[in-house]
Structure 1
Amino acid sequence: MARYGFIHDKLDIKFLILYLMARVVAPIDFPTLTDLTMCDGGVDYFEFAEAVNELVETGHLVLEDDRYAITEKGRRDGAACESSLPYSVKRKAGLQVSKLNGALRRNAQVRSQVLERAEGGFTVELALDDDGGNLFSLSLFCASRDQGERLCSGFQAKPERVYNEVLSALLDEEETE
């Protein structure tokens, strides 16, 4: 089957992977890296998978906790070779990376966890940060881990709403009078 696109061999795929990884703001998992790399119709999945493994073996990428990150060697070698990537591929890749980076930054700023208490029950810790530091932290008691997980999921989905609702409740003067 003929492949359409500008990327056709494993070396080009490696250049593209290094180009992408140098621009993401946090380590990413294999499916996310796959989605980013498939921005060109010429990329073959099996060659891509081999290229990722080879980049890890050569020390261009590092794999920790099922997430890939670029090494200094990968940045250096990728920068030297990125001019060989076609402009249209870099443009498509850049658009995808900027969308992903927005999501990665947001996920890094919204934190939640469920901790078991020694005396029984669970504590849910919720935090919302911005570029300047912590905006909001809240600890809640929960009777079950399931309830705590549901609270975490709700906070992860709508942290700004929770923050605004708490502020509204605290600053509402009509109810306090």
Structure 2
Amino acid sequence: MELTDKFEIKIFILFLLKNIKEPLEFSMINDIVIQDGYVNYFDFAICFAELLENGQILEQKRKEDSHPVYVITPAGEEAVSNVQMKLFTTVREKALRSALRLLAFYKTGNRISSDLEELPNGYMLSCKIEDKDKVLMNLQVFLTEKYYADKLRKNFDDRAENVYKGVLSLLSGDVNYIFDE
């Protein structure tokens, strides 16, 4: 489900900023807002600029570098408090969960990536988790059906940390209900 109404997109942006509760760079806010596919980049950029212009988001300069950070203002908090219920509960919950996970990944330096490459007889799904210094997991799976490949990719993108824990559990034998023993 993609949000296309500017009012809904603005509510969505303000809702996330209100619940994250910390100053963020534009690129981080962009990544958080568009990661689940509810908002496209162009709509985000337009709505973000309007929220900034209307005083619902405030730009703050930082001393340590040239990248400003942004916070929700009291006017933005009041606006979103009155109308946040207009966003579907599932959209709010999933987006906030994804936002907090992405923020945690960025803070620890972890990055997730996935790629789906079309091959002559199917698809190669590549899933990777990296931190600042090393690759934590690099997994490739060949799949014959595009629908299934897309489903697995989406699951990895939504729950990379759980996939990682699951792989470790399976490899260590801690999850042995799958094995015939």
With normalisation by structure 2, the TM-score equals 0.51
User: What amino acid maps onto 1:77 in structure 2?
Assistant: A
User: Percentage identity across aligned positions?
Assistant: 29
Please state how far the C-alpha of 1:12 moved relative to its aligned partner: 0.9
Q: How far apart, in 1, do the equivalents of 2:92 and 2:12 lie?
A: 8
Report the equivalent of 2:19.
23
**Structure 2, unaligned runs of 5 or more:** 62-67, 110-131, 134-181
Alignment map for 1:73-92 (pairs within 5 Å): 73-92=75-94
Q: 1:70 aligns with which of 69, 72, 77?
A: 72
User: Residue type of the partner of 1:72?
Assistant: P
Would the aligned equivalents of 2:58 and 2:71 in 1 still touch at CA under 8 Å?
Answer: yes
Contact 2:4–2:43 at 8 Å: present in 1 too? no
TM normalised by structure 1 equals: 0.52
**8 Å CA contact retained: 1:61, 1:74:** yes
State the one-letter code of the partner of 1:69.
V
Unaligned runs of at least 5 residues, structure 1: 108-155, 158-177
Structure whose CA Rg is larger: 1
1:46 aligned onto 2:42: yes
Structure 1 counterpart of 2:25, one-letter code:
D
Instruction: Tell me the SS of whatever aligns to 1:63.
Output: strand
User: 1:25 is matched by which residue type in structure 2?
Assistant: K
1:113-160: CA deviations, max 9, x gaps?
A: xxxxxxxxxxxxxxxxxxxxxxxxxxxxxxxxxxxxxxxxxxx98xxx
Residue identity matched to 2:74: E
| Count of aligned pairs | 105
Offset of residue 35 of structure 1: 1.5
Question: What's the RMSD between the two structures over aligned residues?
Answer: 2.4
